[in-house]
Amino acid sequence: MNEIASTAPPPRDLSAYKEEPVPGGALLVVAYAVVWVLVFVWIARLALRQTRLEREVHALSDRVDGGAEP
């Protein structure tokens, strides 16, 4: 067992790595914020598309029911 312990590399000085340049917690919060913003933008676009399609369906329904010419 002494042979294995003697071949191990000496411990490195890790004092330079104690502080992160950008903390992981901040990155996590930013990532979640970006995802939620994208979700809300996607839902807003779907709502606008649905409103537009409802207007178009209503207009087409009026044309069919009323016999209006295009």
8 occurs within a structural domain: no
Which amino acid, one-letter code, is at 36?
W
Nearest to 46 by CA among 56, 58, 54: 54
Assess if residue 51 is contained within a domain: yes
How many whole angstroms separate alpha carbon 16 and alpha carbon 11? Answer: 14
Number of separate domains in the chain: 1
Instruction: Provide the 3-class DSSP secondary structure of residue 16.
Output: helix
48-58: per-residue pLDDT in tens? 999 999 999 99
| pTM for the whole structure | 0.57
- Domain contains 58: yes
Render pLDDT for 40-50 as a digit per residue (tens, 0 to 9).
Answer: 999 999 999 99
Which residue segment(s) compose the domain that 53 sits in? 39-65
Asked if the structure places residue 3 within a domain, the reply is no
